[in-house]
């Protein structure tokens, strides 16, 4: 285990930041210990459950496997950025209105993935939603409600962009 | 946030609203608090060195290299624990589990030593440098073998004082049987002799685990005058009692704080990592966090594997006249709550049928495996798996319609259940009828042709909610009229905070959203037996209702005292200002609820086994690929009797989620064991249901009923939709391809093997 510390610079939820990290630190650990952000959290530790999802340069990655040193000069977005202004994102609103979670532990990961999906496809069908979210697990199994929430978020986005909300 | 039910958001009519969860905003913003994510100043991280053998005498544990690692704060074994806690054994039913292994190890993965360090990576690496030497002992893994007592897991049984009816087991030697529950009703032997036909089958269930996505975590901060424990625990009051007992302290020096839980499902009940965290904090005199990895959950607590031999005798008209049930529960190395699973599920092991002659023997067994406890059903899903498969097998053998055969034998309102307790408010037939209606049971079903065959099946279940248990709640109205609820029910996703707030709102005529529910903290929230067994909505619901009613009565008294005219609805804040001259004072209402209960006699009989019956069932349609054995569930219907739902939307999601969890236990989840070693202890090798495992059509609904003695006509929900799923699937597989699987999970391989065996073309062994 190397004890060498490297300083990295990156953008975290729109703000330029620096962090001192060791080679074995993953993104989740760095976010929790150095920035007190717990929205991305480790569960399986194998990149299989999606609880640790963060967006790096617009791409969803597993924060439990992604090493912090690789964030140097990257643009990092976590779930905490979505309601930074105090106003919930349409995806978050949709998750609440559809009851798309129970214990809530996996929820930030699902929300970030849904957000990434809706940026690629503004009106996904059920199959596209399931394909895209297949790498996220919810032990409470709120899957039917999650699919509904993504569809509702798409409608909300559409209404928002046409100014009719 | 848009309110999904704005018309009901006005004061009053809070019960029955599909209000989104009160903590929803915290959860979608990633801000909700979970123990696994918490950090305390000066905190040390604990990493556990675990046994590699299933049963052995500890010859030595060499921690010298680990101690030398830079950054290691300390390394501790069972001997060190005994220096601070002389009798370091814990457990809800038996005080049999050591905080760290002492003298012997009893299962692979048992905690043997711990490293503490400020950096978890350093602790992790130091654990790798610990070396233990064991004298291996013979081990027993199978529950039926364990009952023969040839290999003994424990030298002596150590029942806890918690349950009076276990006291006679104290000091018993030479047995692996932690509890045997026995029920005798009528004369079963005589009835079998006179029966026209007798059917006997044996069913088994596999070892599976809760696998909450937030793994077990506890943080203890020990001071000489008190200890604070932050824990992902389903029963804060029990943790407090147990830690106080271990320390020899009064309860008020132990504070247990429980934030939200990232899933519980029964795994986080009673006491898990808390005792270890407290002992380590005592030794280190610093806060200590014990936070497990996903892999370590496989070595903490699981569901009970089981073997159930069930025998039924029928008269010439197809009426079941006798049923004999023998159930062996594989409790693993420590009893946890296994004896309660054994006894309480034993009450209903003969199923939701009206049978005059019943004999039930239910055995809790020690084996050299990870301990087993409660998992969403307290044993009921294992029993239903057997008795509802058995029911279908009889119906098929008799060439009877499985629905009609059930209806002929159903236990009906006003009739005595196996324990002798009269069935009341248990809509068994209504639920069954609704499932059949949803499946269009009366209509011809297309079984398909060629490679893919189709089938359908159903199952119905009955549970007696665990009794007797106590809940206490406090409602506190502040000087401005705002209201706070103190209740120890742990919200682990079931929406209890929301439902409790709705009940307060209903009584006090205020919107549920305006009620603050204090997170569980034993310094402020009063006693509750535990968030388990679908008991909270009923028991805590009553306590909350009573507390709110007392507050309401005090408000009325204050209005009178202040000379308010009758019917006045002056705001509460005005009353306080009038009374105290400023915004000051409180009105406090308390509620305590404990239902009546009569313990079973020596024959397992009682006229009051439970305060309420739980009823649910499932219906399934599926396709089987006869070339691969792959089963595709095309439709899953879950119907339950929940009385009057407090929050219909949350009820629906609870039913849906529970059934999907059980779908995993039915179709693919299994801890693979090889000589006591778990060979698939990771999420990579142990699959849980994902979004693509959801059947294309799912229907979750409740029947229109009222639980007369329930708060606002309601009763518990959480476990219900787990009950019927497994047998409904197996029954549908049989309907599709004419093969019967009697062991879970129902994998493609198991289906194909059975199909090939039926066609006299058996597949070779693995």
* Helices H / strands E in chain B, number of each: 19, 28
Question: CA B220 to CA B291: how far, in whole Å?
Answer: 11
Cβ-defined contact of A144 to B656 (cutoff 8 Å):
yes
Token representation of residue B671 = 């801890």
Nearest by CB to residue A1, choosing from B20, B125, B265, is: B125
Burial class of residue B482, CB neighbours in 10 A (0-12, 13-18, 19+):
middle
- For residues B356-361, average pLDDT: 98
Contact between chains at A140 and B493 (C-beta distance less than 8 A): yes
Q: Which of B110, B623, B669, B719 is catalytic?
A: B719
Computed on alpha carbons and rounded to an integer, the radius of gyration of chain A in Å comes to 16
Number of H helices and number of E strands within chain A? 5, 5
Q: What is the pLDDT of residue B681?
A: 97
In this predicted model, what pLDDT tens digit does every residue of A81-123 receive, in sequence order? 999 899 999 999 999 999 999 999 999 999 999 999 999 999 9
Which residues in chain A have Cβ-Cβ distances shorter than 8 Å to B4? Answer: 97
pLDDT of residue B171: 82
The answer to whether the CB of A157 falls within 8 A of the CB of A118 is yes
Rounded average pLDDT over B47-63: 98
pLDDT value at position B568? 85
Q: What is the pLDDT of residue B165?
A: 66
Q: Is B40 on the interface with A (CB under 8 A)?
A: no
Kindly state whether A144 is in contact with chain B, defined as any CB-CB distance less than 8 angstroms: yes
**Interchain pair B649, A140: CB under 8 A:** no
B570 touches chain A (CB under 8 A): no
Q: Which of B494, B595, B707 is nearest to B21 (CA)?
A: B494
Asked if residue B534 lies in contact with residue B495, where contact means CB atoms within 8 angstroms, the answer is no
Q: Which residues of A touch B496 (CB under 8 A)?
A: none
Q: Is A24 on the interface with B (CB under 8 A)?
A: yes
User: How confident is the model over B662-684, as a mean pLDDT?
Assistant: 97
**CB–CB of A79 and B29 under 8 A?**
yes
CA distance A4 to B725: 53
Subunit contact B264:A103, Cβ cutoff 8 A: yes
> Rounded to an integer, what distance in angstroms lies between the CA atom of residue B629 and that of residue B667?
12
Q: What is the predicted pLDDT for the residue at A162?
A: 67
Looking at the complex, does the CB of residue B26 fall below 8 Å from at least one CB of chain A?
yes
For B558-591, the pLDDT digits (tens) are 999 999 998 888 999 999 999 999 999 999 999 9
Measure the CA–CA gap between B666 and B664, rounded to whole angstroms. Answer: 5
Query: Mean pLDDT score of chain B, rounded to an integer?
Result: 96
pLDDT at B12: 57
Mean pLDDT score, B127-155: 97
- Interchain proximity A96–B20, CB inside 8 Å: yes
Query: Which member of B30, B121, B215 has the closest CB to residue A108?
Result: B30
Which strand (E) or helix (H) includes residue B172?
Answer: none
Rounded to 5 degrees, φ, ψ at B571 are -55, 150
Does residue B267 contact residue B238 with C-beta atoms inside 8 Å? Answer: no
Over the stretch A130-140, which tens digit does the pLDDT of each residue have?
999 999 999 99
Q: Within an 8 Å CB–CB cutoff, is residue B215 touching chain A?
A: yes
Name the pairing type of β-strands B613-625 and B452-464.
antiparallel
Q: What is the pTM of this model?
A: 0.97
Q: Does B28 touch chain A (CB under 8 A)?
A: yes
Lowest model confidence (mean pLDDT) among A27-41, B4-18, B742-756:
B4-18
- Between CA B685 and CA B298 the distance in angstroms is 12
A62 touching chain B per CB within 8 A: no
B355 and B320 Cβ atoms separated by less than 8 Å: yes
CB contact under 8 A, B30 and A80: yes
CB A129 within 8 A of CB A100: no
Average pLDDT over residues B424-441: 98
* Confidence category of residue B10, pLDDT binned at 50, 70, 90: very low
pLDDT per residue as tens digits for the range B394-421: 999 999 999 999 999 999 999 999 999 9
Given a cut of 90, whether residue A1 has pLDDT beyond it is no
> What is the band of B166 on the pLDDT scale with cuts at 50, 70, 90?
confident
Which of A48, A105, A141 is closest, CB to CB, to B660?
A: A141
pLDDT of residue A163: 53
* Alpha carbon distance B650, B100 (integer Å): 40
Indicate the pairing of strand B631-641 with strand B697-702. Answer: parallel
Tens of pLDDT, residues B282-311 = 999 999 999 999 999 999 999 999 999 999
Q: Are A104 and B2 an interchain contact pair (Cβ–Cβ within 8 Å)?
A: no
The minimal CB distance from B684 to the residues A46, A83, A99 is found for A46
Q: What local confidence, expressed as pLDDT, does residue B335 receive?
A: 93
Distance to chain B for A131, nearest Cα, Å: 8
Contacts of A43 in chain B (CB under 8 A): 213-215, 262, 294, 683
Question: A50 and chain B: CB distance < 8 Å anywhere?
Answer: no
Looking at beta carbons, which residues of chain B come within 8 Å of A146? 691
pLDDT the model gives residue B566: 83
Task: State the nearest Cα–Cα gap between A99 and chain B, in angstroms.
Answer: 7
Predicted confidence (pLDDT) at residue B1 exceeds the cutoff of 70:
no
Assess contact for B584 and B576: CB atoms under 8 A. Answer: yes
pLDDT computed for residue B17 by the predictor: 95
Active site residue B766: no
């Amino acid at each position: 285990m190397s004890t060498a510390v490297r300083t990295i610079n990156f953008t975290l939820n729109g703000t330029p930041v620096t962090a001192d990290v060791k080679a074995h630190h993953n993104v989740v650990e760095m976010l929790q210990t150095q920035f007190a952000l717990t929205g991305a959290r480790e569960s399986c530790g194998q990149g299989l459950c999606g609880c640790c999802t963060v967006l790096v340069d617009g791409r969803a990655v597993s924060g439990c496997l992604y090493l912090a040193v690789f964030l140097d000069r990257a643009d990092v977005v976590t779930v905490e950025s979505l309601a930074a202004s105090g106003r919930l994102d349409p995806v978050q609103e949709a998750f609440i209105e559809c009851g798309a979670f129970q214990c809530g532990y996996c929820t930030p990961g699902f929300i970030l993935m849904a957000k990434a999906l809706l940026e690629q496809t503004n009106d996904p069908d059920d199959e596209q939603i399931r394909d895209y979210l297949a790498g996220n697990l919810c032990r409470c199994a709120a899957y039917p409600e999650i699919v509904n929430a993504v569809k509702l978020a798409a409608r909300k986005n559409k209404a928002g962009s046409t100014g009719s909300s | 946030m848009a309110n999904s039910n704005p018309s009901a958001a006005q004061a009053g009519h809070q019960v029955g609203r599909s209000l989104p969860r009160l903590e929803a905003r915290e959860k979608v913003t990633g801000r909700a608090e979970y123990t696994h994510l918490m950090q305390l100043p000066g905190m040390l991280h604990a990493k556990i060195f675990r046994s590699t053998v299933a049963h052995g005498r500890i010859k030595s544990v060499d921690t010298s290299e680990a101690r030398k690692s830079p950054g290691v704060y300390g390394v501790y074994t069972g001997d060190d624990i005994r220096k601070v806690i002389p009798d370091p054994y814990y457990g809800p039913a038996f005080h049999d589990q050591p905080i760290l292994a002492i003298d012997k190890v009893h299962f692979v993965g048992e905690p043997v030593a711990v490293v503490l360090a400020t950096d978890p990576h350093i602790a992790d690496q130091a654990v790798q440098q610990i070396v233990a030497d064991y004298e291996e002992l013979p081990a027993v893994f199978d529950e039926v073998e364990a009952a023969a007592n040839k290999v003994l897991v424990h030298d002596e049984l150590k029942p806890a004082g918690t349950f009076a009816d276990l006291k006679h087991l104290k000091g018993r030697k030479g047995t692996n049987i932690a509890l045997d529950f026995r029920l005798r009703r009528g004369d079963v032997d005589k009835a079998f002799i006179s029966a026209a036909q007798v059917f006997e089958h044996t069913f088994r269930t596999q070892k599976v685990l809760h696998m909450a996505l937030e793994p077990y975590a506890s943080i203890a901060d020990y001071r000489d005058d008190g200890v604070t424990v932050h824990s992902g625990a389903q029963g804060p009051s029990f943790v407090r009692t147990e830690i106080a007992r271990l320390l020899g302290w009064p309860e008020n020096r132990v504070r247990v704080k429980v934030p939200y839980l990232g899933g519980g499902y029964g795994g986080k009940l009673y006491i898990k990592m808390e005792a270890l965290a407290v002992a380590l904090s005592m030794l280190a005199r610093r806060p200590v966090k014990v936070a497990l990895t996903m892999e370590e959950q496989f070595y903490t607590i699981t569901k009970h594997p089981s073997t159930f031999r069930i025998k039924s005798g029928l008269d010439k008209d197809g009426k079941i006249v006798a049923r004999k049930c023998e159930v062996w529960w594989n409790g693993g190395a420590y009893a946890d709550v296994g004896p309660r699973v054994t006894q309480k599920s034993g009450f209903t092991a003969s199923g939701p049928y009206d049978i005059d002659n019943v004999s039930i023997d239910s055995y809790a067994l020690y084996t050299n495996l990870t301990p087993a406890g409660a998992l969403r059903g307290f044993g009921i899903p294992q029993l239903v798996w057997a008795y509802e498969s058995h029911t279908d097998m009889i119906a098929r053998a008799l060439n009877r319609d499985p629905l009609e055969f059930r209806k002929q034998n159903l236990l009906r309102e006003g009739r005595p259940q196996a324990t002798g307790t009269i069935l009341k408010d248990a809509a068994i037939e209504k639920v069954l009828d609704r499932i059949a209606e949803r499946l269009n049971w009366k209509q011809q079903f297309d079984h398909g042709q060629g490679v893919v065959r189709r089938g359908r099946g159903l199952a119905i279940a009955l549970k007696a909610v665990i009794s007797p248990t106590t809940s206490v709640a406090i409602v506190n109205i502040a000087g401005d009229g705002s209201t706070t609820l103190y209740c120890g029910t742990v919200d682990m996703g079931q929406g209890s905070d929301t439902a409790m707030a709705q009940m307060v709102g209903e009584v006090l005529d205020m919107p549920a959203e305006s009620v603050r529910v204090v997170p569980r903290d034993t310094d402020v929230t009063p006693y509750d037996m535990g968030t388990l067994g679908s008991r909270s909505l009923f028991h805590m619901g009553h306590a909350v209702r009573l507390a709110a009613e007392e507050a309401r009565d005090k408000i009325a008294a204050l209005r009178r005292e202040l000379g308010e005219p009758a019917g006045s609805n002056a705001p509460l804040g005005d009353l306080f200002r009038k009374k105290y001259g400023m915004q000051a004072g409180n009105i406090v209402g308390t509620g305590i609820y404990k239902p009546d209960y009569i313990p079973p006699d020596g024959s397992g009989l009682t006229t009051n086994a439970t305060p309420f019956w739980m009823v649910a069932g499932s219906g399934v349609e599926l396709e089987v690929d006869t070339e691969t054995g792959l089963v595709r569930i095309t439709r899953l219907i879950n119907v339950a009797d929940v009385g009057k739902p407090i929050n219909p939307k949350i009820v629906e999601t609870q039913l849906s989620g529970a059934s999907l969890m059980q779908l995993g236990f039915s179709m693919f989840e299994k801890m693979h064991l090889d000589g006591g070693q778990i060979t698939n202890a990771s999420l990579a090798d142990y699959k849980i249901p994902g979004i693509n495992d959801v059947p294309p059509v799912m229907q979750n609904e409740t029947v229109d009923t009222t639980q007369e003695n329930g708060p606002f006509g309601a009763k518990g929900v959480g476990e219900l939709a787990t009950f019927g799923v497994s047998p409904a699937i197996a029954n549908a597989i049989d309907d599709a391809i004419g093969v019967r699987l009697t062991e879970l999970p129902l994998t493609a391989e198991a289906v194909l093997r059975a199909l090939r065996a039926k066609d006299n073309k058996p597949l070779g062994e693995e």
